[in-house]
């Protein structure tokens, strides 16, 4: 009688484990996200190289940002005289977008 209970318990335990195991994905989700400390040093440097920003693109964005920002003071002065440029808002949004892109690139490269 005791052997039957024990074997029944083992059978039920095996069934529960077999049903639950395909659903278990481990402590880090689906395995695609890994912590930086869990990678080998070679993988870390390779990852940083692929995430490194392109210096030519950064230079182009910085030049465009400088050019756009030089036109803003004249535009703002025109507002005080009642002259509102139709694309001032678009230029300001572009300045904001470029500065965020440059900030992110600098932050990524400093890690």
Per residue, what are the HEC states of the chain?
A: CHHHHHHHHHHHHHHHHHHHHHHCCCCCCCCCCCCHHHCCHHHHHHHHHHCCCCHHHHHHHHHHHHHHHHHHHHHHHHHHCCCCCCCHHHHHHHHHHHHHHHHHHHHHHCC
pLDDT tens per residue across span 40-68: 655 555 555 556 778 899 999 999 999 99
Kindly tell me if the per-residue pLDDT of 91 is higher than 80.
Answer: yes
Predicted confidence at residue 53, as pLDDT, reads 78
Q: Where are the domains of the chain?
A: 52-111
């Amino acid at each position: 009688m005791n052997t039957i209970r024990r074997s029944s318990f083992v059978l039920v335990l095996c069934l529960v484990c077999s049903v639950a195991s395909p659903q278990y994905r481990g402590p880090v989700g689906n395995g695609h996200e890994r912590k930086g400390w869990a990678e080998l040093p070679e993988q870390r440097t390779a990852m940083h190289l692929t995430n490194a920003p392109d210096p030519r693109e950064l230079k182009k964005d910085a030049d465009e940002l400088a050019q756009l920002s030089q036109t803003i003071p004249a535009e703002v002065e025109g507002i005080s005289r009642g002259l509102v440029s139709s694309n001032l808002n678009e230029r300001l949004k572009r300045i904001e977008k470029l500065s965020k892109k440059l900030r992110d690139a600098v932050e990524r490269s400093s890690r």
